[in-house]
Each structure stands twice: as C-alpha cells, then as structure tokens.
Amino acid sequence: LYFSAQEGILIFYHIKDLQYEIKICADISQPISSLMFSPDYTSLLLVTDQGTVYSYRPAHSGEAVKLLDAPRSSFLAADFLTPGNNYCVSVTISGEVQVWSLEDGTFLSKLNLGTEVQV
C-alpha cells in the first residue's frame, strides 16, 4: 500500500497477515495531490499541489525524479501515456499537452490544443 503524507512524503506499507512494515520511499517536500501507477505497476507518478510531477520506480528504491515543474495556475493533470509505461503526458489549463520520458525526465514533445481544458 502506497500513500502520501501531507508533508510530501511517499510511504509504503508492506502488509502480510497481521504484520506490517513501514518504509519511507521519497520525500519531495511538497503536498502530493495524487498518485498514479503505470499500467504494469512498475512506475508511480506523484503529482503535487504546486504543479510538479515526479516519477518513482518502487523496484529501484531510489529517489523520485522530477519530470515537470509547472506553475499551479496553469497545471491541470498528468498521467501515463499508454500502451507501455515509458512516457507520461501532462496538460495545462491553456491546452498545452506535453510528453515526458519516465526514464530520465526528458521533455520530448508538446502539442497546443488551441483551447482551454477543464477536468
């Protein structure tokens, strides 16, 4: 079970029978608004209230990699670009769709939809 604390800490609870173990996986120091697993559950996107998107790979137990740092006023959402789990896509309120590599956080492409976007 993965969850985030209000302070921006990603926490993992390993539960087996009546026993559990707690592990702090990453500390990004920003409140996390949503967590999304890739379709094959190998990567986790962490989206903050401030518009920053991080990638975390549970099997690698490393730090969360910053993919996107957008002002909160323009950032709307992010998710995995499927099929596969090598890329993520983000969208701003102004309608700019951006594609990012989950391998190293490299910005790859953008497309302007020419219209405002809402959830």
In a domain, 1, yes or no: no
Domain CATH number, residue 82:
2.40.10.480
In a domain, 14, yes or no: no
In a domain, 20, yes or no: no
pLDDT in tens, 51-79: 788 888 888 767 888 877 766 557 788 88
In a domain, 8, yes or no: no
Q: What is the DSSP letter of 59?
A: G
In a domain, 98, yes or no: yes
Q: What's this model's pTM, rounded to 2 decimal places?
A: 0.74
Residues 6, 3: Cα–Cα separation, whole Å: 10
How many domains does the structure of the chain reveal?
1
For residue 40 the two structure tokens come to 């094959």
pLDDT at residue 7 is higher than 90: no
Segments forming the whole domain that contains residue 74: 30-112
pLDDT at residue 27 is higher than 60: yes
In a domain, 82, yes or no: yes
pLDDT in tens, 82-113: 887 788 888 888 888 988 887 777 889 999 99
